[in-house]
Amino acid sequence: MLTRVDVALGPRSYPVLVGSDCLPSLGATLRANSLPQTNAFILTNPQVGELYFETLKASLVAVGFVRIIRHDIPASEEGKNWNEFSATCASLLEHFPDAGAAPLVILLGGGVVGDLGGFAAAVYRRGIPFVQVPTTLLSAVDSSVGGKVAVNFGGVKNIMGAFSQPRLVFCDLSTLRSLSPRELRSGMAEVIKYGVVCDATLFETLQSDSLEKLLALDPATLVNVISRCVHLKAAVVEQDEFDKLGIRNVLNFGHTIGHALELSAHYDLTHGEAISIGMIAATKLAIELGICAPSLLTQLISQLLRAGLPISYPGHPELFDPMLRALQMDKKFRNGKNLFVLPTGPGAWQQTEDVPWPLVHEAMRQAIA
Ligand SMILES: NC(=O)c1ccc[n+]([C@@H]2O[C@H](COP(=O)([O-])OP(=O)(O)OC[C@H]3O[C@@H](n4cnc5c(N)ncnc54)[C@H](O)[C@@H]3O)[C@@H](O)[C@H]2O)c1
Ligand SMILES: [Zn+2]
């Protein structure tokens, strides 16, 4: 049985389907969702492809796909670069030169595969349909939904990209079982993020034993929490698809200092680990500014520690200058000011460009001291 969450974007609407052991039914699900192609371009990486490509391929063959091309990119954030993007486009062109036979692009992997492959699908022939098949907790709750696709360029994260919605998101929760504990914990950072700024009920649920159940991959908890997060993301994206109204900024809680740290540490930290530290920094700023009760920080720290996430990256004071430079390259940096998303209570937030630089510097120093 698949749980369905709809992302309602008019002509660009699509369902997010979440289930267990459902990968063999992907082909049939594509057909049931009006995707009639018989050519497929599967983007994955060696690690994920080894585990799931054959099952996915068999499900496509069973519903009449004829030409199925697999292309791999490296299994890490370093793979989300212009050269790999270019190689992916070259493979699309080599295998599908005929405009009448454009493939359905299927993105089998985590956020790196989804972001890079979604961008390639968005620009190849000015856009061909793609489907997200997220295989990490992070991509299931966050990156596979919402249509932001991008690659890193010139040392700046996600600086080359587009808005392009998938036709379908299909999440087989059983694939999370092969994730390394570190990657699973990393995804928990985004789950916790939703609780802090979007949903007090989710925050409370995680305060109880759901967090441990989620880490233990308890099937019922997984479906409930993941579909709740997808629902929260869908609601934000529906109000601000193209990130023009500021509403989508809520999803950047923890990502201002977090992204700067992720880049400056040269990906020694996973995205989720960096965001974990960034959420602590942003919550401290909110407390300094008097808009958040200190008890929220205590609860957030306890959730992050229970999830096995770092709350600082100690012993790296040398990262202060690189982080400051990275902050100024951030997409949220405008006219000499940085936009911060600050929590104001469980499930509530506000954004401000007026956090005094000395406070920001102090929060950064504490993150890496
Ligand atoms: N587009 C968006 O809205 C959005 C939102 C959040 C994050 N992101 C992006 O997502 C990326 C991070 O995504 P991620 O955390 O999924 O990382 P990732 O794609 O690098 O995957 C993490 C690791 O897990 C491995 N892996 C994936 N699925 C597996 C499985 N089922 N079993 C075993 N191993 C598996 C991968 O090979 C990789 O080594 C970042 O680049 C970030 O910028 C994008
Ligand atoms: Zn993130």
C-alpha 276 chain-centroid distance = 14
**What's the whole-number average pLDDT of the chain?**
95
**pLDDT tens digits for range 211-244:** 999 999 999 999 999 999 999 999 999 999 999 9
Interval between CA 275 and ligand 2 midpoint (Å): 7
Interval between CA 288 and ligand 1 midpoint (Å): 33
Residue type, 291: I
Name the residue among 274, 249, 240, 244 with its Cα closest to residue 332: 249
**pLDDT tens digits for range 25-60:** 999 999 999 999 999 999 999 999 999 999 999 999
Least confident of 77-81, 265-269, 325-329: 325-329
For the chain, counts of helices (H) and of strands (E) = 14, 13
Least confident of 69-78, 255-264, 322-331: 322-331
| Alpha-carbon span 211 to 57, nearest angstrom | 34
The torsion angles phi and psi of 45, rounded to 5 degrees, stand at -130, 165
Per-residue pLDDT, 77: 85
DSSP code per residue over 130-156: EEEEE-SHHIIIIITSS-EEEEEETTE
Q: Which atom of ligand 1 is nearest to the CA of 51?
A: 32
Q: Is the pLDDT of residue 331 over 70?
A: no
Interval between CA 151 and ligand 1 midpoint (Å): 13
Interval between CA 119 and ligand 2 midpoint (Å): 17
Around ligand 1, the residues with Cβ closer than 6 Å are: 45, 47-48, 51, 75-77, 80, 109-113, 115, 135-136, 138-139, 142-143, 146, 148, 158, 175, 178-179, 183, 186, 271
| Alpha-carbon span 194 to 146, nearest angstrom | 15
**pLDDT tens digits for range 85-122:** 999 999 999 999 998 899 999 999 999 999 999 999 99
Length of the chain, please?
A: 369
Q: Interior CA angle at 246 toward 241 and 252, to 5°? A: 90
As a whole number of Å, the CA-based R_g of the chain is: 20
179 is written with which tokens? 């994730």
Tokens 């306890």 belong to: 302
Q: Ligand 1 pocket test: pick from 112, 222, 309 the residue with the most ligand atoms within 8 Å of its Cβ.
A: 112
Per-residue pLDDT, 68: 98
**pLDDT tens digits for range 335-354:** 777 789 999 999 999 999 88
Q: Is the pLDDT of residue 333 over 80?
A: no
> Per-domain residue ranges for the chain?
3-178, 181-368
Tokens 């193209």 belong to: 242
**For ligand 1, atom 33, which residue shows the shortest CA distance?**
179
What's the fold here for domain 3-178? Rossmann fold (3.40.50)
Topology agreement, domain 3-178 and domain 181-368: no
pTM of full prediction above 0.75: yes
Between the alpha carbon of residue 44 and those of residues 11, 69, 116, 168, the distances in Å are 28, 11, 10, 17
Q: Which atom of ligand 1 is nearest to the CA of 186?
A: 15
CATH architecture, range 181-368? Up-down Bundle (1.20)
| Alpha-carbon span 7 to 165, nearest angstrom | 10
**For ligand 1, atom 20, which residue shows the shortest CA distance?**
76
Least confident of 153-157, 178-182, 239-243: 153-157
Interval between CA 255 and ligand 2 midpoint (Å): 7
Interval between CA 268 and ligand 2 midpoint (Å): 16
| Alpha-carbon span 62 to 58, nearest angstrom | 6
Tokens 């496509």 belong to: 60
Q: How many alpha carbons lie under 13 Å from residue 105 in its C-beta half-sphere?
A: 34
Q: Do 55 and 27 meet the contact criterion of CB atoms below 8 Å apart? A: no
Residue 208 neighbours by CB under 8 Å, 6+ apart? none
| Alpha-carbon span 41 to 87, nearest angstrom | 13
The arithmetic mean of pLDDT across residues 260-272, rounded, is 92
Q: At what angle do helices 294-306 and 181-198 cross, to 10 degrees?
A: 160
